[in-house]
């Protein structure tokens, strides 16, 4: 008698364990897929921005609207650092990550389309 009831409990336990295990696996698969999709989109964004040949004048205008508050009207630095010769220290990919990433507060992350991103890069390259 007691053996049959304990084996029923055991079955229950196995079933629950299996359910929980499957849920965890499913959850991990979903997380992984989201990561892959995001990663690809980021890469596509970077590649597209790098392919375009931006305009320094447009980038200058964009800079005056979004960046001067911290980097100064001539990009000589204020709260944020001087951006002259930043293109010699950082490659374009790193600059894109800096501008869109929001990884170094207080600098916010900017949502800039690839055309404007390439304009901004051109402007930063035009600084000596």
Omega before 106 within 30 of 0, i.e. cis: yes
Site string for ligand HEC, 47-86 (x = CB under 6 A): -------------------xx-xxx-------xxx-x--x
Nearest-10 Cα torsion for 69, 72, 78, 80: 70
Gap between the Cα atoms of 99 and 47, Å rounded:
15
Asked if residues 42 and 117 have their Cβ atoms less than 8 Å apart, the reply is no
Give the residue with the Cβ less far from ligand HEC, 83 or 118: 83
For residue 113, the SS3 value is coil
Binding mask 2-41 for ligand HEC (x = CB under 6 A): ----------------------------------------
Rounded to whole angstroms, the Cα distance separating 114 from 120 reads 10
Candidates 3-11, 22-30, 35-43, 103-111; binding stretch for ligand HEC (CB under 6 A): 103-111
Contact set with ligand HEC (CB under 6 A): 66-67, 69-71, 79-81, 83, 86, 89-90, 95, 98-99, 104, 106-108, 110, 120
């Amino acid at each position: 008698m007691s053996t049959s009831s304990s084996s029923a409990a055991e079955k229950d336990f196995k079933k629950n364990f299996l359910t929980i295990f499957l849920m965890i696996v499913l959850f991990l698969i979903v997380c992984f897929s989201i990561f892959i999709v995001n990663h690809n989109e980021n890469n596509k964004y970077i590649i597209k921005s790098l392919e375009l040949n931006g305009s320094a004048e447009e980038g200058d205008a964009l800079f005056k609207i979004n960046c001067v508050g911290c980097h100064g009207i001539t990009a000589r630095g204020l709260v944020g650092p001087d951006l002259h010769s930043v293109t010699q220290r950082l490659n374009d990919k790193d600059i894109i990550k800096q501008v869109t990433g929001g990884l170094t507060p207080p600098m916010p992350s900017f949502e800039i389309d690839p055309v404007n991103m390439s304009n901004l890069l051109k402007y930063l390259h035009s600084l000596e």
